[in-house]
Amino acid sequence: MAVRANVVKLKDEDEAKFYAGQSLLQLALRRLRRDTLTLIAMAIVLILVLLAIFAPVIEQNILNVSYSRTDPNNAFLPPGGTARLVYLPDHRYRSQGLNVVVMHDRGAGGREIGDAHVDIQPRQLTTKEGMANILIAHASFGTPAISVFLDDQTRPFAARIAQNSLSNLLEIPVGRHTLTFRRGSSAEGELLAVLRDVEIKPETLTTAVLFGRLEGEGEAALQAKAFSINSRDLAVDTARLHVIHASLSAPRAVNVRVMDVVRIPEIKYGEDGSAIVERGLFTTGISAMDGRTYILGTDDLGRDHLSRLLYAGQISLSIAFAAAIISIVIGVGVGIVAGFYGGLIDDAVNLFIATVSSLPTLLILLILVAVLNPGPGVLVLVLGLLGWFGICRLVRGETLSIRAREYIVSARSIGAPVSRILFVHVLPNLLSVVIVALALDIGNLILVESALSFLGFGIKPPSASWGNMLSNAQTFFTKGVHLVIFPGLMISITVLCLYIIGDGLRDAFDPTLKR
């Protein structure tokens, strides 16, 4: 036991000699290097800051998206979701019902992709013996309204079907038929396509589609096809989804997703696919086989959520850092003067701080930002000018303690200027207090800015901050829960890391600690 005590004593003596030759900053850095949790928190904050700074580079060169570009087809994509070509939000699948979706071309030059869809309930399907159901789909681009003639009839079986639309559910005799597609509603109208030997079977739904382009060649030429599915073979609480690919603008092969789960793995141009879907209200989308993946999904306007988080970090972090610097500069300046001179100046500063601090800070902030029309610059000034009271009190107390020490008394006795005493002797000894206060102040200001934006008094859309992203997402919580989770996580992680850093710095700069 005596040997062990001597070893401990020698170790403490060696450590005391080491500390005796080190400055406060060197000792603080030594302790900080041993504080793994604080170092991890610093690394996380540094990564978040770098991501915010380089958000434009990441957006353009890595994500290949535009954070401000809206795309209704890709609204509410979940994290890892694939970009959609067609989006059917809140698509209802009824028990034993049929849902027919036809992809088609639309817009200027046919470069946009649209859909025509119909939801058929079981009671709408024919029960007459010898009859079945048929739909006519007009999916050709650049072709006016068409009519369809059955066999040798001179009156149209389905009249004036507009481009990019489906006819009503029609009845047709079971057997083989010829369907003739003509422009207009007259039997003398321009012949567009003839569909021969269309087999109509009992308890089937046939969809006859006119697709392609009037002036096209090869695969793009105007043509007609018939697609049939069983309309009766469905269990209770299930529905059938039938998708037909008739869009030249879309990729040659697509898949169909229900709630972002692939239900029909591949449909090629001019072909169809079907799947059994559970009854309910689901989001349905048609995507390219190699469609773009959104890492953190999209928001209600189809904007990439990850890139918006990065740009929002620019605003939230820059406001917090800038406002914290302003409050630190004001608080340290006023606190040093009040603590060093004391007397009437100290009393006036304390009276002002006590008076303003007695007022509800959030209420003052709300009034000021409402009057001043909030923007990043206004928020920085308001938060900075109202956030220096705490650091001022802290610095004042430390300055009162420092001014009574021997080296300050000696400096004043030899006639050293006040400015030299403040900047050479007082301010360096306040460095540890200021650094800790800065880290904690940044965390508090992020929370304040987020609260103001959440209440609608902070950064206004379309500019993004973590606070207003969280505020906008509360309306769509049931449709896109990720829109709430990720901004909240960014705020929580950043503030928690800053508090850990502040606590670690406080321990590192404490001269009473040796380990």
51: left (phi over 0), alpha (psi -120 to 50) or beta: alpha
Contact 458, 449 (CB under 8 A): yes
Predicted local confidence at residue 7, as pLDDT: 45
Task: List the helix and strand counts (H, then E) for the chain.
Answer: 14, 19
pLDDT for residue 441 is more than 80: yes
Residues 390, 335: Cα–Cα separation, whole Å:
10
How many alpha carbons fall within 13 Å on the CB side of residue 183?
9
What distances in angstroms separate CA 92 from CA 120, 229, 259, 349, 484, one per listed residue?
10, 19, 12, 66, 26
pLDDT for residue 127 is more than 90: no
Q: What is the mean pLDDT of residues 318-326?
A: 91
Residues 14, 99: Cα–Cα separation, whole Å:
82
pLDDT single digits (tens) 214-255: 887 888 889 999 999 998 888 889 999 999 999 998 999 999
Residue 311 tokens, joined: 């740009």
Q: What is the mean pLDDT of residues 290-307?
A: 90
Residues 506, 211: Cα–Cα separation, whole Å:
72
Angle between helices 431-454 and 361-371 (to 10 degrees): 60
Q: What is the mean pLDDT of residues 201-224?
A: 89
* Greater model confidence, 458 or 487: 487
β-pairing, 131-138 vs 204-211, is parallel
Residues 513, 508: Cα–Cα separation, whole Å:
8
Q: Which residues face 205 on adjacent strands?
A: 133, 229
Position 198 confidence tier, pLDDT thresholds 50, 70, 90: very high
Q: Which domains does the chain possess? A: 23-59+306-508 (1.10.3720.10), 84-291 (no CATH)
How many alpha carbons fall within 13 Å on the CB side of residue 482?
19
Residues 65, 304: Cα–Cα separation, whole Å:
7
